[in-house]
Amino acid sequence: MGIVNVTPDSFADEKPVIDTAQAIDVALRLEADGADLIDVGGESTRPGAETLPKDAELARVLPLIRGIAGRLRIPLSIDTYKAEVARAALDAGASIVNDVSGLRRDPALAQVAAERGAAIVLMHSRGTPKTMANEAVYEDVVTDIVAELASSIRVAEAANVPADRIIVDPGVGFAKRPAHSYGVLPRLAEIAAALGRPVLVGPSRKSFMQAALNDRPAAERDWGTAAAVTAAVLAGAHIVRVHAVAEMVQVVRVAEEIRRHAT
């Protein structure tokens, strides 16, 4: 899953992409580089980020979605937790909703996905970007993630989202200290087995790697991301969400061969 953020405060890019024409070029390049899906986001979810009004979010993402929906050959995902933004994005050409709140901030989003026949990614998190650091307290991080994602799945299914259109994401870097994020990666198969759903993982350039990489800025963490992506694939991830698609395609293909030959 290739990432196209149209946010002026993106944590991962030295020069954030906010121009629609430039963002369209980025999306098409990521597809050419080997992305299987494209995820479009208009609101930053980095730690401490402010909530963006829905009209401002729509103004960022809709021109991009309309500009690429008819040109991409791969599915398009909208990264939002707001039902109204999801509805407009799906009507404009998206077919997946990627909800970083796991339906906790706007449960009506589940009904939108069901009505539009969309797939939905339910990510584990707690609180909001401004409060989530204070909520990174777990008895056992994977056990707690499974229990909380199971609750999100029940909300989606109660809204008639078919089980085969639900994907889960353990939320590496969200409401988790670095030790929690590192602890999640080798246990992805456990999460998939417990919930019976495919697992998406998004470790790309995140700050949990910062100490191990001697405080390199986010845009210089692709080698660290490659290690995290390898670990995720070996542990059973079905989808990895990344910025550097061309490089991570190579990483994933080799990691998949290692997994395939494992005995």
Q: Catalytic residue, from 82, 206, 216, 253: name it.
A: 206
Q: CATH second-level architecture of 2-257?
A: Alpha-Beta Barrel (3.20)
Calculate the average pLDDT of the chain. Answer: 94
User: Is residue 206 among the annotated active site residues?
Assistant: yes
Q: What is the pLDDT of residue 82?
A: 98
**Each residue's pLDDT tens digit, 73-104:** 999 999 999 999 999 999 999 999 999 999 99
Catalytic annotation present for 104: no
Position 201, amino acid = V
Query: What is the reported pLDDT for 15?
Result: 58
- How many residues can be counted in the chain? 263
Whether the pLDDT of residue 126 is over 80: the answer is: yes
Residue 11 has pLDDT above 70, yes or no: no
pLDDT (tens digit, 9 = 90+) per residue, 25-77?
999 999 999 999 999 999 988 777 788 999 999 999 999 999 999 899 999 99
| Residue 31 near residue 74 (C-beta atoms within 8 A) | yes
**Per-residue pLDDT at 8 exceeds 90:** no
Collapsed DSSP state (helix, strand, coil) of residue 217 = coil
Confidence of residue 16 (pLDDT cuts 50, 70, 90): low
- Residue of 241, 253, 259, 260 marked catalytic: 241
| Residue 133 half-sphere exposure toward CB, CA atoms < 13 A | 10
d(CA 247, CA 240): 13
Predicted TM-score (pTM) above 0.85 = yes
Of residues 18 and 24, the one with the higher pLDDT is: 24
- Give dist(CA 248, CA 78) in Å, integer: 21
Q: Which residues contact 61 (CB under 8 A, 6 or more apart)?
A: 6, 40, 41, 42, 78, 80, 85, 89
**Domain limits of the chain?**
2-257
The number of angstroms, rounded, from the C-alpha of 124 to the middle of its chain's C-alpha atoms is: 10
> Could you give the CA distance from residue 229 to residue 201 in angstroms, rounded to a whole number?
8
Q: According to the model, what pLDDT value does residue 45 have?
A: 80
Burial classification of residue 149, based on how many CB atoms lie within 10 Å of its CB (0-12 exposed, 13-18 middle, 19 or more buried): buried
Rounded distance between C-alpha atoms, residue 41 and residue 248, angstroms:
20
